[in-house]
Each structure stands twice: as structure tokens, then as C-alpha cells.
Structure 1
Amino acid sequence: MRALSIIGILLIVMGVVALAVGGFTFFTTERVVDAGPLQIDVQKPHTIILNPIVGVVAAVAGVALVLADRRATA
């Protein structure tokens, strides 16, 4: 396989995953009080929403790269 095919397949997989998942959440810990022996930490959620258009564009671009590589080798 050539580089274009590998990149195309990766884009297809990432596009399908973006369409299937839709978004993900991760947490960060922030210290809000640090007064001597008293320490209070708060976990804040951060949500990243993946637009379905991004998944479709990635999948279509991946298919285009795979097809372009196959035409170049033929």
C-alpha cells in the first residue's frame, strides 16, 4: 500500500468513528482553595462535540484518496 491509501483508510476510519461517537467528555482537576491544610479540588467537565459534517467530509476525503491512489497505480 502506498501513502495515499494509508492516509485515505485512516480518514475513512476517523470519519466513521466521528459519526458513531458524536462527541466525548473529559475532566480536568482545578484547585479552588489552598489555605494551609485546607485544599479543595473541583473536577470540571469539558465536552467536545464532533459535528456530523466533519465525519462525512473525512470519510469522503478518505474514499477520494484511496481511489486516487488506485488510479495512479493502474
Structure 2
Amino acid sequence: MRVTGIILILIGIAMLIFTGGINFQTKKKVVDAGPIQIDKKENKHVGWPAYAGGVIVVAGIVVLLAGGKRKGSA
């Protein structure tokens, strides 16, 4: 549980840093006819709402604290 909480917190912080999302480019082969090769570059965007990072950080803290309470009481 502790590792899961830490991973959630790190992902949430990364989402807060990259608030608008991330952009990346993919390369797709369109034509490959012997010596002739044509590639197409596509721009892609993965976006999320601004509050999503904060929600994930809070969820990670809850998981971290819940995991710690179970170990201490058992």
C-alpha cells in the first residue's frame, strides 16, 4: 500500500507540473515501396483537467495513511 500511495503522489505532482497535458509526435509509415519511403508525422495531445493532479495527490496521501494505520494496529 505504501508504494501505491507514493506512486500516486508522484503522478499527481507530475500532473500538476504539466497542467495542460503533454504533447508528443508519432511517426507513421505511409508508403514503403523499395527505395521510396514516405512517413507521416502526427501531433498528439493527452490532456487532463487542472484539478485532476490535486485529486490524485490527495488520493495518494489517503492510501499512504490508510496503509500505515493498518500496519500499526495489527
* TM-score scaled by length of structure 1: 0.75
What amino acid sits opposite 1:56 in the alignment?
A: G
Residues 32-61 of structure 1: per-residue CA shift (max 9 Å, x gap): 456775543221100111322221111011
Counterpart of 1:42, as a letter, is: K
The percentage of counterpart residues that share the same residue type is: 35
Per the alignment, do residues 64 and 38 of structure 1 end up closer, same or farther by CA in structure 2, a change over 3 Å counting?
Answer: same
Q: How does 1:1-74 map to 2 (within 5 A)?
A: 4-22=1-19, 23-32=21-30, 38-72=36-70, 73-74=72-73
CA RMSD of aligned residues (A): 1.9
Provide structure 2 residue ranges, at least 5 long, that are not aligned to the other structure.
none
Q: Which has the higher helix share?
A: 1
